[in-house]
Amino acid sequence: MLRKVFRTGNSLVISLPKDVIEPLGITEGGNVSVELDRLNRQIVIRPVELPFAGTIDEGFARQVAEFIDKYRPALEALAGKGFVSRSIHEDHSLARFAGQ
């Protein structure tokens, strides 16, 4: 299958037809791994599934929730000064995950 290489900004782009990517489960906005096989002069593209936040280790989630609880006033002060993108709320997802 012959494809045309074109430029978008500072990148070179190759469009991939739907019938090639669909069986691999690759969708717009999805993640792929791109590797260079120098020996065979090939570019290898593979679908990659990133782990969901729900797969975070429960112990780690508990430590983060404890950190947030301990330093909540400082974190909220930083959030008010624009250092943190949003305020830390009581109902944060890590505390729920850790069973708190």
**Taking the CA of residue 20 as centre, how many other CA atoms within 13 Å lie in the half-sphere pointing to its CB?**
9
CA 64 to chain centre: 19
Kind and range of the H or E run holding 13? strand 11-14
- pLDDT tens-digit series, residues 43-61: 999 998 766 666 677 788 7
DSSP SS3 for 35: strand
pLDDT at 60: 82
Using DSSP, state whether 71 is helix, strand or coil.
coil
pLDDT given at position 53: 61
Residue whose pair of structure tokens reads 């593209």 in the numeric block: 45
Query: Cα(45)–Cα(38) distance, rounded to whole angstroms?
Result: 14
Structure tokens at 40: 């065979």
Contact 92, 65 (CB under 8 A): yes
Convert the pLDDT of each residue in 79-89 to its tens digit. Answer: 777 655 544 44
Query: Is the pLDDT confidence value at 90 over 50?
Result: no
pTM for this predicted structure: 0.46
Domain spanning 5-48: CATH 3.90.660: no
The domain locations on the chain are 5-48, 53-97
